[in-house]
Every structure is written in C-alpha cells, then in structure tokens.
Structure 1
Amino acid sequence: MVAKPLDFNNENEKYEERSSSRNSNNSNSKTICNGNFKRDPLPVDCFKKHIIEILNHLEDTVIFIGETASGKSTQIPQFCCDAGLSETGLIGVTQPRRVAAKTLAERVATEMGTKVGQLVGYKFRFENNCGNDTRILYQTEGILLREAQHDARLKRYSTIIVDEVHERTINMDVLLYILKQAQTIRKEKDEAPLHLILMSATMNLQKLQKYFHKAEAYYVRGRQHVVKLFNAPILKINENDYLFNAISTVLQLHLTEPIELRSTQNIGTRNIVTQNINDSKSNYIDCPKYQNPNGFLVFLTGQEEIETAINIIRKTKKNEKSAEKKQYENIFALPLYAAIPTDKQNLIFSSTPNVNINLNFFNNY
C-alpha cells in the first residue's frame, strides 16, 4: 500500500506556485491571519479542506506523511479542533523531545490567540503547563505512557497524534501497542472511539499500515522552503576527532579564507588557526563569504561535546593574536539540549542583532 496524495483546497492554492511567488518577492503571495497574528502559508494549508474531511470521517487510525517543515506538527492539531474532535475530549500530541513539545505548544498557542496553559498546553517531566480548559496538549511519549498506567483506555482523550513516528524508540513502540489496545478496549465497551493520527516525514509505511489494520495513509506535498543540496570537497580529517572537524567545516562555510584546527599537545586542547588562502588549498573547502546573516545547526552526541564546541568558538573570538579576528566577532554560538534552563533554550529562537552567523549546537536526544 502507498500513501495517497492529498487534494488541494482548489487549483489556485497549489503550494508550489505560492512558494515560488513568495521566493520571488511577489507581493501577491498570501498571508494566513488569525486575529492579530499573521504568518506565511505552509504547505499543509493547501490541503486543510481535505484533511478536515478525512478527520470528520475518521474511525480509528490515519497516517500523514509530509516533508519536514510542511506544517504537520502545528497545523494538524488545529485542524482536529476545526473538525470538532476537541469537543469530545482532549487532543494529545506526543513528541520525542521536551524542547519540541514546549516550543510547538507555544507556537500553536500564539497562532490560536491564546496563552500557553489555556487552550494549548504542554507537559513533560518536571514541567506541567496545562489546565482544565486545555484542548491541545503537547507532551513527551513518557508522560502519556505514565498516564496509560493509571488509565489504560486514556478516557480523557478523543484524539492522539504521534509525531515523528519514524524514530521507533522503545517508548514509541510501547506507546503504539498501548494505543492500539486502548482503541480495541473502547470498541468492546461501546465507548467513544480513540482517534489515532501517526505523522512523520519518513516511515516504514507498510509495517505501520499492517499493524493498524491497513490504516489509510496520505502524503502532504510541498516544502516550506526550496531545499538545495551542495556537495563540497571534504577536509582531510581525523576520523577520531569528529567534533573539531565539525567546527572547522562550519566555520569555513562562513569565512572567506579557509581555517584549520591544529592540536596543541602541551595544553591538551585545540586552537582554531586561520590560514592564508594560498596555503595548501587542497586541504580545505573553498567557500565565498556570505553577506547576509546565516545560521548553522551542528548536531553533536551530547552535552559535553556541545559545551566543548562553544568554548572553542568563544576562545577563538577572544584570541587577540588572530590576524582574522574581525571575521569571528559576529559569530554567536548557542547550545540546545534538554538539561539547560528554559530561558537559554529560547535564545535560539530570538533575533540577534549585529550577528552574521548563528552556530546552534544540538544533540538529538
């Protein structure tokens, strides 16, 4: 079985056309408005009518596959409200990571013209921001598993959306089993059905459809931004030193002249040393300097590597002996992992004036 393409709201709303016009600075590109809040259209907006129709007739399980940044995680929970699913129970949305659960809840609350903790809330270990009026609840998989220990039928939910289902963690696999059992028990007791929505950019569709009784699957076409793949020559790297190779590569994408990371054996750390563009060009990626503000996401394995990388960037900026110090002055490095305080997590979403490049160091756990 394959995913069916969703139907556009109408022929004039094909996302590819709107996207290209917006990228060409065409003033005719549409803006989505909700009260005082305005945003650019997302690919999933083109299929709102069809998605709501699917949700209106949903009995058990449906699968939505869509490109990253198509708007699934923020818009489909709102479409569930538009379809009336929130009138019979809570709409739960699971996320693999706490940061995602919180930031998505904040975004959806803003779009719906409410504050977090009212119509839209979030919940994960050590933090609970929801109330009696909450209709959309973003949470980690572990929180929903804990709730299922006390209520196997998950009676307060009308709909549960499992996002990033392709990750197939232990928590997620156990949760999918529990949700399937909850659907079965509700049917046996002639209770209101538990609607289940599975979402991801990629997934093993055949296995999920087989497990959930040949659930219908739909494909959300379109991307929020044009994605281009650039293949550049790779540095001569030390395979055992991926951290410094990552820093070196991303900085080269920013600087006019290539740079190199050299070992300093006596202090056990690394210094970033700028090199003349004429020095051994074959060892470097030759990139033009970008004129506009840019951002880079660097995924590392854990907190220690993230903090080490940021310290390297900061030491380089303070290096008064660096002949190219000015090239580093407007580089701003930020960490993002679950253990850091919320106010520091939110820094990556804020606008930073007088910064040419944001280096955001993440781990994916």
Structure 2
Amino acid sequence: MLPKLNPFTKKPYTPQYYKILAQRTTLPVYQRAKELTQNVRDHQVVLFVGETGSGKTTQVPQFISEMELPGVVVCTQPRRIAAMSIAVRVAAEMDVQLGEEVGYRVRFKSMVSDKTKLLYMTDGMLLREAFSDRDLSRISVVVVDEAHERTVETDVLLGVLRLLMQRRQDFRLVVMSATLDMERFQAYFPKAPLIQVEGRMYDVQVLYSTVPVKDYVEACVERVCDIHLNEPPGDILCFLTGEAEIERAVSRTKLKLEHLLADDGNTVSSNGAQLLARVLPLYGSLGVDDQGRVFSNAGKNTRKIIFATNIAETSLTIDGIVYVVDCGYHKQSLYNAEARVDYLLPAVISKASAEQRKGRAGRTRPGKCFRLFQQSDFSSFPNQTHPEVLRSNMINTVLLLLKLDVANPYQFAFIDPPSQQSVMDAYCQLSLFGAVDDDLQLTDFGRLMADFPVDACLARVLMRSAQYGCAADAAVIVAMLETRNVLVRPASRGIEAEQKHVMFRHPDGDHLTLFKVFHAFWRSGQSSQYCFDNFLAYQALQQAVNVYTQLTKLMKKKNICFVSTYDDRSGKLDSVAIRKAVLEGFFTQVAYKPPGGELYKTVRDSQMVALHRHSFPSMSGSPSWIVYDRLEVQGQGGTFIRVASAIEPEWLLEVSDFFNDTSEFGDGEICRILQDLKAGGTTQKG
C-alpha cells in the first residue's frame, strides 16, 4: 500500500512523487533502509560503503530523516556544486519545496528555513556552524558523504564530530564512502558497524593508450571526436583537471567537429543514426544554469559530450553516460614545507579514482572507458588518494581549530596527523598576520579573521584595508579572487577576446584589472549580453557579486569602516591604497626581477618563476617587484605566477615585520635590497 499523505507537508503526494518513487525502489540501497536506520538507532557511528550507482547520496539521508528524530539531519559534501544539485534532486524525490523541508547551505549561498529537516551542506559550512554552537544542538544526525576523498575539511569535521559524541550521547554520525578501502575509518571508529551495498553496474570495457600521451587535453579532444564519429549513441564523459583545460577542450571539440562534419555537428555514427553533439563543461565554479544543462535531457538524436573535473567522479551522477575518457590526472594542491610555498599542479589519480571514473560508463548499460595512459603506467598509480591534510598548507586549518577552542592543534585527533613542521609553519604565518599571540592563542584580530569564510590571507586583506580607506574596493577584489576565471578566452576566438579585454586592463596589474571587470559588469546592470559581447563569464561574475554582497554585510557587521576610493563617473581610484591592502594579506607572496632578467625570483624561497602569459599584458612594462595570488605548475612548462600586481619595495617594511629580519632571506641580492631599504637607501623600484 503506497502512502498518500506526505508526512513533511501534511499534503497528498503528487503523481510525480510516485513516478520518482518507482525509480528509487530499484536502487540497491533501498533494500537496506531498515538495516541502516536500525543501526543508526543502536550505534553512535555507522560506516556505510555504497558503490557507484547504489543511491547512497540521495537515499541514506532521506531514510534517516524519515526516522522522525527531534533535530535536523545534515548531509555534508566536499563540494558546493554537489551540495546544491543533490538538494534539488532530493527535494523533488521527497515532494517538497527546495528551501523548505529540504535545503542547502554553502559558502555565500543558502536555501533554508525554519521548516528544514534535511540540510545538505559543505563540510566547511558545518564546521563554521560550530563556531556559534559547539554542540550542534539543533542537529540530530550528520551524514558525512564522500569521506574517501579525504579533504582537509572532511578530516577535520570527523575529528570535531568524534569529540562532540563524547559530550552528546544522542548524536549520531554516518560516514559514507564510495570505495571499499575503509580500514582507516574502521581504526578511527573501532566500534562502528560497517554496511556495504553493491552498486548497479554493467560491464565496462577498458581500453588503454598504446603509446605515451604528450598533450592529454588534445588527446581527450581527439578521442572524444573519434567516439562521436564512430561509436553508437550514448553520452560521453571526459575527465580533465581544471576549468582552464575544460574550457579549452570544449572550444577545441566544437571547432574540430565543425570542421569534420558537413552540417555543423551532424554526423552518421557507425549504427546509422544521425547524431548532433552538445558539448558542455562541468566544474565547481560553474553557475547553476550551466550545471543544469549537464543533467538535462539533450533531446532526441543528440549526444552530450561533457568535459568535467573529478567532481563527476562520485559526487554527481549524470544519467546516460556510456563512454568515459580518462586523462589520468587531477589538480592537486601541494604545500612545500621546506620552501613554505603552495603549489597547484596536475598529479596522477589513484587506482581507486580510476575505477570510480570507469564506473560512470556502466550505470545504465554496458559501456567503454578509454584511459589515455598505458596499462604499465596504471600499475604504478597509488592505490588511494593521498590525504589532503598531509600535503596542504595548514594555516586555515589551524585558524579554524583555534576558533573552535581546540586547545592544542598539534594534538588534534586527525585520522592521519599532518607533520609537526606544517603545523608550526601555520602558527608562524598566523603570528606574522597578528592572528596569534606569543602563547599561540588567538588574538582578537585572529578571531575576527576566522569569522570570514575565506582564506586567512584574504581575511587579512579585508580587515587591514580599512586603514587605507579602501575596504569596499578590497571586498571587490577578494570576491573576484574567490570566483576566478572571469575572462573567457575561447580557443577559436582568442584574438578577438584579447582585443575586448584590453579595455579592462589596469597598468598596475591583475588585481585592479579584476576590479575594473567587476565594476563594468555592475554598471551594465549585470547584463548577460554585455558578458557575451565582451568575453566575460556571466555566471562567474554573478557569483562574484553575490560574494561581494555577503562580504559587505559581514564587514559592516564587524564595524569595519566600509568606504571606497573608486569614482564611478571618472573611473579613478586609489591604486596605491588598494595594492597596499592586497599586500597586507600576501606579503609572503612577493617576487623580484633582477635587472636585465626575464624571470622573477620569489622573495621567500628564491625560486625562479615566470609571469603567466595572461598576467603579463595587464601591467605596463614588466615591474621589478610584484605581489601575486598563487603559483601554478603547468606540467613540464615550469612554474608560473597567477594574478600579479606591481608594488614598491618600500611597502614591504610598512606592512609586516617579516621583512625586518633579513636573516630569513640568506646572503643574496634580496637580502641586500632589504638591508638598503631598512637603512633608508634607494633600490630599484617597480
């Protein structure tokens, strides 16, 4: 007997509910609902392994919400795009309004109400909720999904929740993973029962590359086009490492298919069916509308070709995928403790990730997985993803733990503890920022820094900008840095895009160029047509406006003097004030170019780096001193500076005592320059 009344809304179910319910009951996890809920009643912690296609992400939180527990059921996700899209799906399955009984909360965006019983959140947002409510008193159960990804925030959250369970016997935790490698979690929660549910998988044929691949982006494009031309109908999912690669691949694929096919994308595949290609991107910062296109039905006789990051590996399920193309890499953050420098670089995936990617091709029917690496290479891949906490800069994590009143972050019970050196480096950086005192406790300044849902360096920019009279301008730049990649450069129209972007360039650098882009978009009335005409990313800029709005509210709430140096009519601004504010948060990310040289030398570790080709045109000439946002390693192409602005070396002594101790910089040229500056001498300026 099917239920007629929705227990959440007290209204009759709609016909659509029963249609979706018929699909839900076929999922493997559905048959284990009673076993799961009974274990949740009987145990504080339950470990749950649901393989690809089992339905764990959408169904397990629903089963628990139907237990009628007194508080909210929270399901955490590592990525904001997953939290939002899954909430949309679950609201439809439960036949309720999104933002009412089912909601989501991610950085700078939420849909939630007093009625909300099931809430999807990012791990980081739940940690921030603990700032104001240490015991998470409104929450009965937390379901930590995608725990196998081992992000820093997931690992910290599990440690915080383990401590919470000692204080709250009524609290329940479900740890979910898509892989069978649960030994670390079983050791961390030794009394927790383990439930395993197999996925719903068809056979997937794996085809390896027979030769080494030099340019995996171009190889992906070639393979995708070959599949479209020669394989039977079925959507294609291609894994790449990041937004820039994906946008390049999307443009190249569209261009290549236009050249290959006589009728703008129409072709006759090997089974004689006429197919149209719809080429789409999928990555974390993509707007909601663009995400929706990936999940929507492409229409009759149309094949979707989706280029995605590893967000499509386990977090999101796309129906209709028959072919997977795997480049074998993902973007990985890496902190070099010896040099005290962060990198973002491509790294080989784990064997577990490769299997997850393969599984995306076998959800609805037999499929094929094309691996763009040799089988001998695959044997050398690591078995599991290396925990992020073991390879990351710990500054944000230590700041978070101190804000959560963890007395000694050195002794925090991580699943895999970070090195003592990385924690010490984090304390040193926080000390330079004025966030901790000599006893390694948070200062009032540090507590305020932790309240901003951005990286510590960006929080310092926001808080110190008031002394330069440019807090509103700093909020714009931070919002744009949080968004990234607002300038669109299609492969087929690169020259035209560069010509349009000229009007946004500021002679002092990329930060002020981003500032100009933001205000141009604002003046256009946030017009999508303006973005299309000028090669700007509309969804990204909408997100930047949203971030700016949220930061504005928070800064005013913290009584930060919120003024701007920008005159909208004349376009004039105080470039020096704004760049000094940026330097306040990034003074350890400064580089110097020796006279006559082409490369820059980073001040902190004397590494030779180049300005990225998209940064260089933003600045008049090539300044001797720059502050930069990040370093990026691009395969064999070297290390590049991304988002840079010119500074004067004298400013270094103004913003931080870090530069007063010249012994930090060895006996080289930079040490001599700093000594001259301290002595009141002159040096080469930007």
User: Which structure has more strand as a fraction of its residues?
Assistant: 1
Residue equivalent to 2:77: 95
Alpha-carbon RMSD across the aligned residues, in angstroms, is 2.4
Q: How does 1:105-144 map to 2 (within 5 A)?
A: 105-144=87-126
- Determine if contact 2:225/2:253 at 8 Å carries over to the other structure: no
Contact 2:261 2:267 in 1 (8 A): no
> Does the aligned pair in 1 maintain the 2:277–2:304 contact within 8 Å?
yes
Aligned counterparts of 1:114 and 1:323: Cα–Cα separation in 2: 44
Which residue number corresponds to residue 247 of structure 1?
Answer: 221
Partner residue of 2:49 out of 62, 65, 81:
65
Quote the Cα distance in structure 2 between the aligned partners of 1:320 and 1:327: 9
Cα displacement (A) at 1:131 = 0.6
1:157 positional shift: 0.6
Q: CA deviation at 1:180?
A: 0.6
After superposition, give the CA deviation of every residue in 1:76-128 in whole Å (9 maximum; x if it has no partner).
1111122223xx11101001111211111111111111011011001101210
The residue that corresponds to 1:158 in the other structure is 140
Give 1:306-317 correspondences, 5 Å limit.
Answer: 306-317=246-257
Is contact 1:42-1:70 (8 Å) kept? yes
2:305 counterpart residue number:
359
Over 3 Å counting, the alpha-carbon distance change for 1:103 and 1:323 in structure 2 is closer
Q: Give the distance between the partners of 1:325 and 1:77, measured in 2 at CA.
A: 42
In 2 relative to 1, CA 233–322 (structure 1 residues): closer, same or farther, beyond 3 Å?
Answer: farther
Are 2:241 and 1:301 equivalent residues in the alignment? yes
Give secondary structure in 2 for the equivalent of 1:232.
Answer: strand
User: 1:1-365 maps to which residues of 2 (within 5 A)?
Assistant: 34-35=17-18, 37-40=20-23, 41-58=26-43, 60-85=44-69, 88-187=70-169, 193-221=170-198, 223-224=199-200, 226-232=201-207, 234=209, 236-237=211-212, 239-256=213-230, 289-290=231-232, 292=233, 294-319=234-259, 326-327=266-267, 330-364=276-310
Alignment match, 2:361:
none
Cα drift, residue 229 of structure 1: 2.5
Gaps of 5+ in 1: 1-31, 188-192, 257-288
Structure 2: which amino acid aligns with 1:208?
Answer: F
Note the alpha carbon deviations across 1:156-215, whole angstroms, 9 max, x for none: 11000000111111111111100111111224xxxxx21000011215423212212421
Q: Is the 8 A contact 1:55 1:83 kept in 2?
A: no
What residue number does 1:268 align with? none
Taking a change above 3 Å as real, the CA distance of residues 178 and 64 of structure 1, as seen in their structure-2 partners, is: same
Give, in whole Å, the separation in 2 of the partners of 1:54 and 1:186.
Answer: 17
8 Å CA contact 1:52–1:82 kept in 2: the answer is no
Displacement of 1:234 in angstroms is 2.6
CA distance in 2: counterparts of 1:244 and 1:176, whole angstroms: 40
Structure 1 vs Structure 2: percent identity of aligned residues?
Answer: 35
The equivalent of 1:29 in structure 2 is none
TM-score by length of structure 2 reads 0.40
- Between 48-57 and 61-70, report the one with greater CA deviation: 48-57
CA–CA distance in structure 1, aligned partners of residues 16 and 72 of structure 2: 25
Higher helix fraction: Structure 1 or Structure 2?
2
SS in 1 for 2:154: helix
1:27-64 Cα offsets, whole Å, 9 max, x none, are xxxxx984564442100111122222222323x10011
SS in 1 for 2:267: helix
SS at match of 2:59: helix
- Paired with 2:50 and 2:41, the residues of 1 have a C-alpha distance of 20
Which structure: larger Rg?
2
Give the match's secondary structure for 1:253.
helix
CA contact (8 A) 1:62 1:197 kept: yes
How many residue pairs align between the two structures?
289
The C-alpha deviation readout for 1:259-283, integer Å capped at 9, x for no partner, is: xxxxxxxxxxxxxxxxxxxxxxxxx
1:219-278 Cα offsets, whole Å, 9 max, x none, are: 113x33x321313363545x330111112123222322xxxxxxxxxxxxxxxxxxxxxx
How far apart, CA to CA, are the structure 2 residues paired with 1:325 and 1:133? 48
Q: Is the partner of 1:330 in helix, strand or coil?
A: strand
Secondary structure of the corresponding residue to residue 228 of structure 2? coil
Measured at CA, do residues 331 and 159 of structure 1 come closer, stay the same or move farther in structure 2, by a change above 3 Å? same
Contact 2:140 2:171 in 1 (8 A): yes
Amino acid at match of 2:122: T
Q: Does 1 or 2 have the higher relative contact order (CA < 8 Å, sep 6+)?
A: 1
DSSP-derived class of the 1:102 partner: helix
* Contact 1:152–1:178, Cα closer than 8 Å, also in 2: no
Equivalents in 2 of 1:321, 1:206: separation in Å? 51
Q: Following TM superposition, by how much is the alpha carbon of 1:298 offset from its aligned partner in structure 2, in angstroms?
A: 1.1
Structure-1 separation of matches of 2:207 and 2:263: 26
CA distance in 2, matches of 1:342, 1:324: 27
Contact 2:225–2:257 (CA<8 Å) still a contact in 1? no
2:83 and 2:96 mapped to 1: Cα distance? 17
Normalised TM-score (structure 1)? 0.73
Cα contact 2:283–2:309 (8 A) shared by 1: yes
Counterpart Cα distance in 1 of 2:246 and 2:131: 36
Counterpart Cα distance in 2 of 1:104 and 1:364: 16
Q: 1:153 aligns to what SS in structure 2?
A: coil
